[in-house]
């Protein structure tokens, strides 16, 4: 963590490299992240940057979350999940 005056302070969290497994809450005072290791299940945590304490928010039984986002009001997390053998369908609507 880097402070406004340029000094640094270590945080003891670990996320997968080359992923989008962390997001700041709208207030900027908390960080939501999916913790490593790469084994199942996925654990989602909320880190309070002032106290440097984490608490677990959720657990998923599979390891398929590609990324996630936080709603502007900070009340919900939306997930982008990857599923093998899924179908993609395009529906063409008639012109109005």
Q: Residue 8 carries which DSSP code?
A: B
CB-CB neighbours of 44 under 10 Å: 19
Mean pLDDT of 74-92: 74
Percent of the chain with pLDDT over 90: 9
pLDDT at 84: 64
Alpha-carbon gap, residue 38 to 14, rounded angstroms: 11
Residue 83 has pLDDT above 70, yes or no: no
Instruction: Please tell me which residue, 66 or 75, carries the higher pLDDT value.
Output: 75
Q: Residue 94 carries which DSSP code?
A: P
């Amino acid at each position: 963590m880097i402070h406004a005056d340029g000094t640094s302070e270590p945080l003891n969290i670990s996320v997968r490299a080359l992923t989008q497994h962390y997001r700041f809450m709208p207030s900027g005072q908390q960080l939501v992240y999916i913790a490593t290791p790469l084994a199942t299940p996925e654990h989602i945590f909320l880190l309070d940057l002032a106290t440097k304490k984490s608490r677990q928010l959720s657990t998923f039984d599979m390891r398929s979350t590609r990324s996630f986002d936080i709603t502007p009001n900070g009340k919900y997390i939306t997930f982008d999940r990857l599923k093998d053998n899924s179908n993609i369908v395009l529906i063409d609507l008639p012109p109005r």
